[in-house]
Amino acid sequence: MKILFVANSFYATGNGLAASARRTVDYLKKAGQDVRVLSGPNQNPDGPQPDYLLEEYFFPIVAPLIKGNGYHFAQSNLPLMEEAAKWADVIHLEEPFVIQDRMIKICERLGKPITGTYHLHPENITMAFGPALRWKGLNHRILKSWRDLTFNHCSYVQCPTQNVQDRLRRFHFTCKLMHISNGIIPDKCIRPLTPPADYLDPSRPLKVVCIGRLSAEKDQYTLLEAMKFSKYAKRIQLQFAGTGLKEADMKRKAHKLYMDGVLGYDPEFYFLDRNGLRELAANSDLCVHCAFIAITGTAQFAVSRKNIFPAKNPEALAHRIDYWLDRPEERWKSGFAHSERLEKFSMEKTIDRLTKMFQEAIDQKKAR
């Protein structure tokens, strides 16, 4: 099967959408599928480049904001896009933007099947512009435009979580909505079976890790605010892994908590590769995710209700943090339970379901 992935910025770093697309393409190839990519350039000139390379498009005025969120847009090249579409058996759209809409017109003219993945909510975009654009009506209009201009032209659309599928149904998407996880690489758990010798030492720092792009919708601010309510604040060593538009502001506010005596350790900030993130998480006492706008639906990975807190509620988060830090033995066991739970979201299962989705789209188009 020849599958063409269409993305604006396939090789972007610090961008969950691009990371998910690269992971999916890699595993599709390992499963024996013939996959090519149409995308803008890799910003790393020494790295790999798309099979069909589009030039980058620079938006006036807002270009720094787009780049700060780890994103880049590509410029349409209709002859190249048609060449790519003619090669493919099925075309898969990773976003609902201009190059995807141009590709839809080409595919419909050529009679090519189209599928897509719903990777981001309108709120992921409007939140970057501040409170003035957090209006429900605007977000609804954007979603309806994505529905009409992009997704309803697909025969199938992958919904990474049940919440995403439910939302799109409420907005009357007419394409077939497939609940298929983005998948998790089935890494072997690198945490030892027994905790380190100083695990119960009451004087050691308690490492609380938060991994993700430093942005308004990821809401690391709630974790910072929660430190004012945690009885363990003096022992907590906050460790943030990510980059983004809010990095400077978060570093300033995190350091202020330390200078004001709320925290006993100055928070640390990192930007790590995948192996570095695994090490950071494995050596932590607790991992916290605060995003209130998220496609991946991190709550679906929770082992129990004790691993969930109400969004944007720092006091509730502090209560959950204290609950787990109060229970070191239970916390250690829960880490392994979490690792086992992730097996149901393995990439192999995701690839199997995506492959069937692609084949059904091809068969459906041939049957018409």
Q: Which amino acid is at 304?
A: S
How much is the pLDDT for 132? 43
Lookup result for tokens 């022992």: 235
Could you give the domains of the chain?
2-185+346-367 (3.40.50.2000), 206-344 (3.40.50.2000)
Structure tokens, 149:
């201009």
Query: Could you tell me which residue, 70 or 85, shows the higher pLDDT?
Result: 85
Split at pLDDT 50, 70, 90, the class of 217 is confident
Distance of CA 11 to the CA centre of its chain: 14
Split at pLDDT 50, 70, 90, the class of 191 is confident
Q: Which of 89-98, 216-225, 344-353 has the highest mean pLDDT?
A: 89-98
Cβ contact 109:78 at 8 Å? no
DSSP letter, residue 176: E
d(CA 167, CA 146): 13
Helices (H), 118-246: 122-126, 136-149, 162-170, 220-226
- The model's pLDDT over 154-183, given as tens digits with 9 standing for 90+, comes to 999 999 999 999 999 999 999 999 999 999
